[in-house]
Structure 1
């Protein structure tokens, strides 16, 4: 399993896809947070990163599908998937290894954004006037959100040989998982079930963790969500394997 993980990770790091994708993510988030007037932290007037943590989920809807789209699709397009499944490794281990490799890349994309926390901390009056607990909780929420989106992306990649189609499917599923249940709960015919329906979506649990409160129910939700999509990936990859 470790060999597959290392192979998958280094195949990303040896290509321009990972660097371009992460570079675009950091460039767009930096421009939105520091230069565009409507979203600039400098014009906000408060030493906090709420705007950043509200923005990143929407960037993740494109960043993570771009990272995961090649995980299974490229293997089958190049014909190396058949060789991989002949190795002494289970299908479940292959899925987990690819998932973890993609998740590491998501983590590598998040690490440079810590400079935003440092900058806001230095700019605050007095210096260091920032709620570090809320920031830590928000970063944990972003990582859990990234893990959920990554499981969706790997699943989408297991459905097709075409990376563009895998990207489109993944982006659509991520958007629905994050926003779809909130919008559905607001329909006139469903107002009596608004809270219940919204609780199935990712957004409500992400917002809960972003407030700095680590609720066991939210952690269980994200772990269960990722596990379900990894099981779907195993089924999809298993069908192709057969």
Structure 2
């Protein structure tokens, strides 16, 4: 499994697409948080990073599918997955190796954003007077959110040979999971099941962690979400191998 993980990670790091997507993500974050007046922290007047944590999920809607779209789709298109499937590896080992490689790449994209915490702490009056608990909780929520989106992206890549189709499908499913259930809960006809729809929403659990409170229900939700889509991926590639 480690050999597949290392191969997949090096493949991602050697691809221009990974650097472009990470660069676009960091550039968009920088422009939205420090230059554009409507979303700038400097115009907000408070030393907090809530604007970053509200914008990051929507940027992840495109960043993460761009990273995962080649995971299985490219292997199938080039025919190299046959060689991988014939090695003494289980389907779960192949899936987890690709999943963890993509997760490490997302970590590389998030690490530079820690400079925002330092900058905001220096801008606070007095310096360092920021809500550290909320920031830590928000970062944990953002990691769990990225883990959920990665599971969706891996699944989307496993069902098609076309990377563009995999990207579009992952963006659509991630958007529905993040914002779709919230929107449906506001529809008058669905008011009777509003609580059920909100409990299914990724955004609801993400915002809950952003308040600095780590609830086991949120952790169980994200773990179940990830396992569900990785399980679907296992069914897809297992059925194709059979």
SS at 1:43's partner residue? helix
Residue 227 of structure 1, CA deviation: 0.3
Residue in 1 aligned with 2:234? 234
Match of 2:76 in 1: 76
Equivalence for 1:180: 180
Number of the residue aligned with 1:135 = 135
Q: Match of 1:6?
A: 6
1:135-182 CA deviation, whole Å, 9 max, x = no partner? 000000000000000000000000100000000000000000001111
Q: Which residue of 1 aligns with 2:218?
A: 218
Number of aligned pairs? 242
Structure 2: distance between partners of 1:152 and 1:175: 11
The residue that corresponds to 1:42 in the other structure is 42
Measured in 2, the distance between the counterparts of 1:22 and 1:107 equals 10
**Aligned ranges 1:1-242 → 2 under 5 Å:** 1-242=1-242
Cα distance, 1:192 vs structure 2: 2.3
The ranges of structure 1 where at least 4 consecutive aligned residues each deviate by more than 4 angstroms after the TM superposition are none
Distance in 2, matches of 1:160 and 1:193, equals 34
Deviation at residue 69 of structure 1 after TM alignment: 0.2
Which consecutive unaligned segments of at least 5 residues does structure 2 have? none
- Deviation, 1:199, is 0.7
Following the alignment from structure 1 to structure 2, what is the Cα–Cα distance between the partners of residues 196 and 69? 31
Equivalent-residue separation in structure 2 for 1:240 and 1:101 (angstroms): 23
- Counterparts of 2:197 and 2:46, CA distance in 1: 34
Q: What secondary structure sits across from 2:126 in the alignment?
A: coil
Residue 44 of structure 2 aligns to a residue whose secondary structure is: coil
Distance 1:46 1:15 in 2: 39
| C-alpha separation in 2, matches of 1:161 and 1:92 | 20
Deviation at 1:60, TM superposition (A): 0.4
Q: CA offsets per residue over residues 99-150 of structure 1, 9 Å max, x none? A: 1111111111111000001000011111011111110000000000000000
Shifted more, 228-237 versus 184-193: the winner is 184-193
User: Whole-Å Cα distance in 2 between the matches of residues 196 and 86 of structure 1?
Assistant: 43
Cα distance in 2 for residues equivalent to 1:196 and 1:20 = 38
Question: TM-score scaled to structure 2, two decimals?
Answer: 0.99
Shift of 1:236: 1.2
Q: For 1:165 and 1:181, locate their aligned partners in 2 and report how far apart those are by CA, in whole Å.
A: 23
Q: CA deviation at 1:240?
A: 2.5
Q: Give how far 1:238 is off.
A: 1.6
- For 2:218 and 2:206, how far apart are their aligned partners in 1? 8
Q: CA deviation at 1:239?
A: 2.5
In 1, the alpha carbon distance for the partners of 2:18 and 2:241 equals 27
